[in-house]
Amino acid sequence: MIRLAKPFISEAAVNNVLEIFESGDLVQGKYVKEFEIVLQDYLKIDHSVLVSSGTAALHLSLMALGIGYGDEVIVPAFSFPATANVVEIVGAKPVLVDINLDDYCMNVPDIEKVITDKTKAVIAVHEFGQSADMESLMQSAQKHDLMVIEDAACALGTEYKGQKVGSFGDIGCFSFHPRKAVTTGEGGLVVSNNPDIADEVRALRNHGISGKSDIIHPGLNYRMTDFQAAVGSAQMDSLEKAIEIRIEMARTYNELLADCDYIITPAIFPERKNVYQTYHILLHDRINREELISCLYEDGVQTNFGANALHCLTYYREKYGYEECDFPVARKAYEKGLALPCGPHMSNTDVEYICGKLLADYQTGFYTKE
């Protein structure tokens, strides 16, 4: 089976974990500190705080910025649900805007249409490893005095005009889930150039503790273990090589699928570096995606849909009265999007095999609608 993604845990990482067992320093030990410094240097940012998951990173970011009941936060209508869920959790309202079909990121002009006196922040999602239009987004946010949180869960290494994403806004959030280029099993990261924000996140991740024992906030236990940090830190030396492999693999996909009139491959933007955390294609309306997923699985290829149209999910649909037609681009990206395997666990031969199956099965009508 050619898996959608597969984590690589090096021998060095395993040896690090064994060392931690012997030391007895299991939580927030030396590897957490070392991993934070490595990530700080890589992203060229002043402060980094490791946490227990990407969702925890988003949750802590909203808390650190003081966002809560009565506030509104602008969120793209196409994303993993955690992006909106954390806004609900702090008591604020996620206000959805549609996306662009070329980069699957927030349509910046739509931000202006939904701003009210309750709007406090915007969460920019760098979907599938592609950067959002950060220049326009930051201009819009600054014009309306909005705070910016970057959801870069899929975008470690992604760049916009030579600058790493996650370093543009007030806060950047990353994930180290097993499908990511660097994984700690579960794990996340909050980064910021603002020392006060970073200090708030550090306290909130550790029960609100400041100093040795004082509680300055009712915080949470969102700490990363030293085991996780040791596994993640050991992968940083190979990150750029892994990104290069993904970019080359995406180039091969693009070339082999270039003449398919029923598949749209990811758009390329000269000013953005896409790390292809997910190689996401868009299918023509005549393609039955579920049948295609089944056909490819039978051929030994694991695929999946890319992200959710948030307004179509039961909770958000029922609470806010959304109709399926409200965000048509997000809905199309969800219903016709398909994530193909991509990463260092594969070879170019695998890519050729997958593309061959896509072409051959279509020609025989296996997954076309009647």
pLDDT value, residue 365: 62
pLDDT value, residue 19: 78
Q: What gap in Å lies between CA 178 and CA 316, rounded to an integer?
A: 27
Q: What gap in Å lies between CA 329 and CA 79, rounded to an integer?
A: 12
Average pLDDT over residues 315-337: 97
**Cα→Cα distances 288→107, 284, 292, 317, 362, Å:** 27, 9, 6, 25, 10
Whether 172 and 157 have beta carbons less than 8 Å apart is answered as no
| pLDDT higher than 60, residue 264 | yes
| pLDDT higher than 80, residue 367 | no
pLDDT value, residue 30: 86
pLDDT tens figures, 273-300: 999 999 999 999 989 999 999 999 999 9
pLDDT range class, residue 366, cuts 50, 70, 90: low
Average pLDDT over residues 347-369: 82
Alpha helices in the chain (DSSP H): 11-23, 30-43, 54-64, 82-89, 108-114, 134-143, 195-205, 226-233, 239-256, 289-298, 314-320, 328-336, 348-363
What is the CATH T-level fold of the domain 11-237, as seen in this structure? Aspartate Aminotransferase; domain 2 (3.40.640)
SS3 label, residue 151: strand
pLDDT value, residue 311: 98
Query: Could you state, in order of their start, the residue ranges of all structural domains in the chain?
Result: 11-237, 238-363
| pLDDT higher than 80, residue 199 | yes
pLDDT value, residue 364: 59
Q: What gap in Å lies between CA 97 and CA 122, rounded to an integer?
A: 10
Which CATH code for domain 238-363?
A: 3.90.1150.10
pLDDT tens figures, 200-225: 999 999 999 887 778 888 999 999 99
Average pLDDT, the chain: 94
Confidence (pTM): 0.95
Structure tokens at 258: 């270039």
pLDDT tens figures, 35-75: 999 999 999 999 999 999 999 999 999 999 999 999 999 99
pLDDT value, residue 12: 78
Apex 295 CA angle, 293 and 296, nearest 5: 65
pLDDT value, residue 9: 76
pLDDT value, residue 21: 75
Rg (the chain; Cα; Å): 21
Topology alike, domains 11-237 and 238-363 = no
pLDDT range class, residue 11, cuts 50, 70, 90: confident
